[in-house]
Structure 1
Amino acid sequence: MSTQIPLGTDQNEQPERGHWQIDDLDFDAIERSAIEDNEDLFYLLMSASFIETGSETYAANLAEHYSEYPEITAWLRDRWESEELQHGTALRRYVEAVWPEFPWQKAYDSFFDEYSKLCTVEELHPDRHLEMVARCVVETGTTAYYHTLREQSDEPVLRELLGNIRNDEVGHFKHFLKYFKQLQENAPVARTRIAGALYARLKELRESDSDVALRHVYAHRGNYFAQSQHSFADIAQRAYELISSQLPADLAVRMLLKPLLLPARLEGYLHAPIARLATRVMAP
């Protein structure tokens, strides 16, 4: 059920379409029997709902970091932040419909108490060009993450929701790439530095915010999957194995190569070695 996702067209050249709304999703139609016993998706969807809900803090930090660029800060505050928060709200409604006894708010509060201390402006790359490169890597990772989760279930409402989120993440990637290109036009940085930033941020995906979220989901799981013999270390490893083994490599590599601004022929030549590198870095 793989889906090819177009990346070549600038989002600004596409006709405006109404953004999907949470009320478009029929949560009463969820086929709970198709998902409620899936332990992996329980942890992955719960942790995703935490991270997306906490995106307001991160958006504020990014807006501060790019305060000298009104167009960028306006988009971050008016579009990116609102769509990320919508993802969090929609994911929360879904997981609470499937696993209603999970103490979502209590677990989220404990997660955010830890997570908010990690989200500081100081964590962003001091070079605004290279922070845009890092944003492109993060959006590549989230696109691949939601694409992979969508392929793991046949539950119709979940597939619709994850498809919507995945497509939003592609749109966010295109915006970050556009702003990076604008910064490059005014004051270019060397391609070697861009490649270094890509590689550094790609390695950090293994040590991402999802570790924090997974830990708090595990701590508050209550009776859900109580018979499971998996420790937290097992759960974290299984999550990495699921995502990395099912990573849509072609999609991820096409996105990762874009910030290098390579000629088309050279980009094609580098596709295979970059795919091997990305798979090796993301492997469990």
Structure 2
Amino acid sequence: RSMDIWHTAEPTKVIGDGWLGRAVRDLDPKGENVLTGLNLGRGLPRALSCRGVPVASVGNLESYGLFPDVREEEARRDTLNTFAQMYGGAEGRDAISQFIGETGSAALKGADILRTAPEKYSSSVEYAANPLAQSLKDAAQVMCADLGTRIYYAQHGSFDTHGGQLPTHNKLWGEVSSAVGDFMQDVREHGRDEETLVFVFSEFGRRIKDNGSGTDHGSGGVAFCIGGSVEGGLYGEYPSLKEHDQLEGDLHFNNDFRSTYSTILEGWLGLDAVPIVNGNFEQFDFIRKSKISHKLSGVG
């Protein structure tokens, strides 16, 4: 349920559309670019899901595409033509057939565009070998290809450490640090650090007291915003550890997560945040004002 809340920006009821999916919809209301939003990983996170909004999911950019095992050019062309005919002409079909047709057509179009990204990319940065670093390398390649992608999403974990927390967190945070560090070095090398914002979040925190070698789910947490246009600092008060200030044994959060979302949506992506987060929330001032077209990279 906590993941639903963070991914949809709706804590009072269960809804299907994610906040970033709604952002993609508003960034490209006519659906002209099937790559406005891009997930680097398998499946589609709830945050990027939105009815009628195509979002590509890429497990590995180097091998991404339709029928990558068909290598002979003429056979591949025939296979892709058959696929296009199968999913084309969605008008006049029932709703389910139309959805499947539109999804197939979007996949074909997105795959055709994305296959050009690695060819246009060169960098002196050697990314770490962990999965998050490789996902962010893929994001950098797409970004440098100028395909019009505005939102990139990747995930890493699991940080759900009910046991063995110290060694697990030491490994995971080392991987996050090296991955984000490599990515920022790469976009800086390409002169894009001021147009890139990395937003790192987890859908729940940990409790104050341990349960032996780990901790259970807690309410208080932290999020990070990283980039060349970010005003560094701590936004919000550090929560008190005093027992009478705790929330049933948890840290008491003092920033509404939708305030952070609203700041990113309006201050970074130039959107009206109210219909996306379903309300008007106080915003922070961690984004420097500029006229640059911005990209958002999210790490969940």
Q: Which has the higher helix share?
A: 1
TM-score range, shorter chain: under 0.3
TM-score in terms of structure 1 length: 0.27
TM-score normalised over the length of structure 2: 0.26
Structure number with the bigger relative contact order (C-alpha 8 A, sep ≥ 6) is: 1
The answer to which structure has the higher strand fraction is 2
